[in-house]
């Protein structure tokens, strides 16, 4: 009887030990997905606003007629609003192409000049054609616009490249600007350009907080929102390795349909042939 009781007691102690050990293992174990998500969250955490940031121009060729584009639009918005890449100041340029307009929905923010600009990139990158959504980072790399991992990696790399010093402010004298706004643009410390190349000085006017209720086409029934929509893109000059520094006071013509509080000017330097962006600056025009 005593032997039987001892056996039962030993079995009970062993069972309690197994349960306790299993519980301990369960508490310390992290699910692989949870660990992966934790890493992803830390990778996109906003960095301190005190960190010095290098401007990086992120262009998105998109269209409201393209069903693959809304996730890329959302990624651009996230990059613009949260500035999540350490060391980089993301300058968003959303360029709505017009070659989707014949498929049921005419994108109200589209322009043929943006389709032509995308064609120029295709030639520079050696691509046989164009597609949407396409993201181009500092004119150095292109990839499908919804690829957030590639976007973060490429933006971080571009931020480490040498940049020209670009100053962009409102000009102190606004006389004779009419309904426009006069800017003061100065470029200095130009980094080494590709042999024989020059850099175009480009001025873009962008508008945030735009949206559409799409009635037809692939995105019918959806409300689409956008940031950094390019309203106008013009060349205001050029610079070269051997020429003088650039200084100018371009006047931005303001369309009555644009909401002034959402407007921003962007000046960037882009090598004419290679399409590399070698400097940029942005300025909120009002407010």
Question: Per residue in 34-84, pLDDT tens?
Answer: 333 323 332 343 444 446 899 999 999 999 999 999 999 999 999 999 999
Count how many Cα atoms sit within 13 Å of the Cα of residue 48 in the half-sphere of its side chain: 3
Mean pLDDT computed over 173-193:
87
Helices (H), the chain: 2-28, 32-43, 69-82, 112-125, 148-159
Mean pLDDT computed over 95-110:
97
Structure-model confidence comparison of residues 229 and 7, the more confident one:
229
> What is the pLDDT at residue 178?
65
Torsion (CA) 152, 153, 156, 159 in degrees, nearest 10:
-110
> What is the pLDDT at residue 225?
98
- Cβ atoms 135, 149 nearer than 8 A: no
Q: Is the pLDDT of residue 243 over 90?
A: no
Mean pLDDT computed over 102-118:
97
Band (pLDDT 50/70/90 cuts) for residue 164 is: very high
Which residue shows structure tokens 């205001």?
A: 236
Among residues 36, 74, 62, 55, which one has the least CA distance to residue 131? Answer: 62
Q: Is the pLDDT of residue 123 over 80?
A: yes
Structure-model confidence comparison of residues 19 and 160, the more confident one:
160
Band (pLDDT 50/70/90 cuts) for residue 177 is: low
CA distances from 73 to 2, 59, 102, 144 (A): 77, 11, 21, 12
Structure tokens at 102: 């014949």
> What is the pLDDT at residue 52?
84
Structure tokens at 113: 């000049």
**What's the predicted TM-score (pTM) here?**
0.82
Average pLDDT, the chain: 85
Query: What's the farthest any 2 CA atoms get from each other in the chain?
Result: 111
Percent of the chain with pLDDT over 70: 81
């Amino acid at each position: 009887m005593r032997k039987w009781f001892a056996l039962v007691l030993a079995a009970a102690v062993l069972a309690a030990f197994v349960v306790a050990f299993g519980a301990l293992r369960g508490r310390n174990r992290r699910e692989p997905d949870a660990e992966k998500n934790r890493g992803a969250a830390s990778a996109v955490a906003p960095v301190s606003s005190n960190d010095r940031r290098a401007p990086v121009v992120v262009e998105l060729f998109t269209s409201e007629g393209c069903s693959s584009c809304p996730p890329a639009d959302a990624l651009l918005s996230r990059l613009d609003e949260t500035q999540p890449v350490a060391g980089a100041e993301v300058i968003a340029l959303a360029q709505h192409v017009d070659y989707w307009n014949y498929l049921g929905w005419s994108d109200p923010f589209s322009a043929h000049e943006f389709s032509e600009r995308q064609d120029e990139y295709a030639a520079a990158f050696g691509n046989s054609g164009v597609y949407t959504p396409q993201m181009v980072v500092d004119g150095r790399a292109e990839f499908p616009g919804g690829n957030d991992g590639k976007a973060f990696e490429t933006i971080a790399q571009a931020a480490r490249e040498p940049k020209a010093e670009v100053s962009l402010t409102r000009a102190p004298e606004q006389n004779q600007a009419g309904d426009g706004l006069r800017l003061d643009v100065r470029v200095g410390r130009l980094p080494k350009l590709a042999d024989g190349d020059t850099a175009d000085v480009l001025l873009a006017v962008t508008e945030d907080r735009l949206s559409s209720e799409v009635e037809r086409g692939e995105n019918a029934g959806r409300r689409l929102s956008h940031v950094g929509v390019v309203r106008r893109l013009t060349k205001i000059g050029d610079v070269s390795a051997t020429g003088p520094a650039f200084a100018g006071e371009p006047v931005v013509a303001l369309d009555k349909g644009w909401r002034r509080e959402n407007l921003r000017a962007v000046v960037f330097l882009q090598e004419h042939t290679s399409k590399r962006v070698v400097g940029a600056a942005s300025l909120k025009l009002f407010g």
